[in-house]
Amino acid sequence: MQYRNNMKFAKSLFFSVVSCMLVMGLSDDLYAAEKKIPHGITIGDIDAGGMTEEELMNQANEYVSTVTSKNIELLIDGKELDLSAGELGYYWKNTGIVKEAATYCQEGNIIERYKHEKDVQKEGISYDFEMAVDDDVLRHTLETKGSSYNVYHVNASLTKTAEGFDITPESSGKILDVDDSVKELHEYLMDDWDEKEGRKELKVIKDLPTSTKADCAKVKDMIGTFSTSFSGSSGRNKNLENGMRLLNGITIGVGETISVNSYLEPWTTDNGWVPGGTYVNGKVENTLGGGICQVSTTLYNAALNAELEIVERNCHSMTVGYVPLSMDAALAGTWKDLKIQNNTSTPVYIEGIYAPGKITFNIYGLETRPSNRTVQYVSQRVSSSSSYYTSQLLKRVYIDGVLQSESVVNTSSYKNGGGATGSRTAQTQETPPQPQQQETTTTVMINETITLPPETTQAPQTTAPQVPVQTETQPIEQPTTTNQPTTTTQTTTQQATTKETVPQQETTAPMN
């Protein structure tokens, strides 16, 4: 009898335990199916219990948004700049804690999950928001929004007069020290900020001029000059005159680089531009500024003769008639520019002169080159086909008439089709190169040379000057009817007189 009672009790206990486990398992499975986070889990001050993962992420993002939207008042040289913490790169780093909280009690068997859930409810699990600063975002914000508070230096500048040069003195400026500000704000946001409204003073530094009145006073010599001839339409001639007006009187400080395009923009009638003939995709069209590339080409060659550094120069897609191959410099929108850097020890001054049938650029500075040194530029065709011409511009340096070095200034390719281009906007003039019509873009570094053994080849004999003025251009071969000279030399010597012969060629389309 006792045995039967014990068996009944054992069976009853077994079924009770199994029933409880089934209920617990079913309850757990239903809870997991709803993907609810167990009670007792918190993220920061957020009680995650009973939330889904998506609900918890929304709550967390809402909290972070209230923090990153807090205003930080920046003081820049006494001026106030209000930015949010988020704009300064403050962000939530450990976003993975939401997933971790949502899956905390979903591993193991039924009993293990039940035990974990009970432990969490009893002891609790807490996650903290980990915030960080993205220095790249911080730097970008300071450089863009902080720059409006900068007062930049103004270099001393020159104005040519009949008696010489008038000098406008320099002035210093103050600018935000971005490097120091990034470091200081990073430390402030991470260590000192209480995630409420904040205030931080930033460091400013002096922005010193690179060219002073004393530097400009040294400018007295013509160190480079070049001229080209023209005839053509009245509209094109007006554009030549306008281009010379806009580029005349530029002072380039020591080490400074200028963009020729930046001085000619905007390309509007209000800025003096009129329609001029331009060769566009095989057709002649009138576009604002047509002809401007002859102006940039003339300046390019004057800069070569002054031995300034050419940072960017591009050839035309087709040949031009006012200079030999590889001596042109095309402008087109933002993808073709002429950029010149002053690599001398003093400022340089650009003088542009427009006269009927002729434009000239003179570059003034301080002559430091030896009087027995001669520079010769040679245009040389290196290959040709039915589709393209390829040419090089060589620079030869002579001392006392003996060749010392030869270097390649640029290599250029031109489509063989006659006519000429020289546009300044990609939309209406030179079109960007297509894959089937590759066009060479050349960056010229004037000071790169290849030293050669001395040769007996003699440069034109010259006498030492007081004021160096240069360029003698003589075509060794006359251009063909398609205006493709094989070899042309341009010699720069320190002479007081200037002579220039530029090959002239009639074309079937207006020259740009």
Predicted pLDDT of residue 422: 37
DSSP string, 411-429: EEEEESSSS----S-TTTS
Q: Could you tell me if 417 and 326 lie in one domain? A: yes
Nearest 5°: the CA angle 45, 46, 49 is 135
Domain boundary among 128, 145, 173: 128
Backbone phi, psi, residue 398, to 5° = -115, 145
Mean pLDDT lowest for which of 297-311, 411-425, 483-497?
483-497
CA distances from 505 to 314, 369, 440, 448 (A): 22, 35, 24, 33
Predicted pLDDT of residue 403: 97
Q: Could you tell me if 263 and 175 lie in one domain? A: no
Distance CA(394)–CA(400), nearest Å, equals 19
**Average pLDDT over the chain, rounded to whole?**
79
Predicted pLDDT of residue 235: 87
Q: Could you tell me if 484 and 339 lie in one domain? A: yes
Q: Could you tell me if 383 and 440 lie in one domain? A: yes
Q: Do β-strands 90-92 and 131-133 pair in parallel, antiparallel, or remain unpaired?
A: antiparallel
Closest CA to 297 of 348, 345, 338: 338
Asked whether the predicted pLDDT for residue 476 surpasses 70, the reply is: no
Distance CA(351)–CA(368), nearest Å, equals 20
Asked whether the predicted pLDDT for residue 268 surpasses 90, the reply is: yes
Mean pLDDT lowest for which of 111-125, 134-148, 323-337, 450-464?
450-464
Q: Could you tell me if 109 and 230 lie in one domain? A: no
Position 156 in a domain = yes
Position 302 in a domain = yes
Mean pLDDT computed over 292-299: 96
Predicted pLDDT of residue 286: 82
Residue recorded with tokens 């004037």: 446
Asked whether the predicted pLDDT for residue 438 surpasses 80, the reply is: no
Mean pLDDT computed over 16-26: 49
Predicted pLDDT of residue 206: 96
Position 470 in a domain = yes
What domain count does the chain have?
Answer: 3
148 three-class SS: helix
Q: Could you tell me if 115 and 153 lie in one domain? A: no
Position 353 in a domain = yes
Q: Could you tell me if 115 and 150 lie in one domain? A: no
Position 500 in a domain = no
Band of pLDDT at residue 7, cut at 50, 70 and 90: low
243 three-class SS: helix
Q: Could you tell me if 168 and 201 lie in one domain? A: yes
More confident residue, 478 or 376: 376
Q: Could you tell me if 295 and 169 lie in one domain? A: no
Position 81 in a domain = no
Q: Could you tell me if 43 and 149 lie in one domain? A: no
Residue recorded with tokens 């480079």: 224
Structural domain for 139, as ranges: 135-212
List all residues 6 or more positions away from 3 whose beta carbon is below 8 Å from its beta carbon.
Answer: none
Mean pLDDT computed over 179-184: 97
Position 48 in a domain = yes
Share of the chain above pLDDT 90, in %: 59
Predicted pLDDT of residue 428: 30
Band of pLDDT at residue 114, cut at 50, 70 and 90: low
Band of pLDDT at residue 423, cut at 50, 70 and 90: very low
Band of pLDDT at residue 377, cut at 50, 70 and 90: very high
The answer to whether 448 touches 407, Cβ cutoff 8 Å, is yes
More confident residue, 227 or 233: 227
Predicted pLDDT of residue 37: 85
Q: For the full predicted model, state whether its pTM sits above 0.85.
A: no
Q: Could you tell me if 280 and 342 lie in one domain? A: yes
Backbone phi, psi, residue 356, to 5° = -55, 120
Predicted pLDDT of residue 164: 92
Mean pLDDT lowest for which of 61-70, 179-188, 294-303, 469-478?
469-478
Q: Could you tell me if 195 and 254 lie in one domain? A: no
Length of the chain: 512
The answer to whether 215 touches 156, Cβ cutoff 8 Å, is yes
Position 8 in a domain = yes
Distance CA(377)–CA(221), nearest Å, equals 21
Element housing 72 (H / E)? strand 71-76
Distance CA(371)–CA(494), nearest Å, equals 6
Asked whether the predicted pLDDT for residue 19 surpasses 90, the reply is: no
CA distances from 267 to 239, 260, 264 (A): 11, 13, 7
The answer to whether 293 touches 428, Cβ cutoff 8 Å, is no
Distance CA(420)–CA(280), nearest Å, equals 9
Question: What's the distance, Cα to Cα, between the start and end of the chain in Å?
Answer: 121
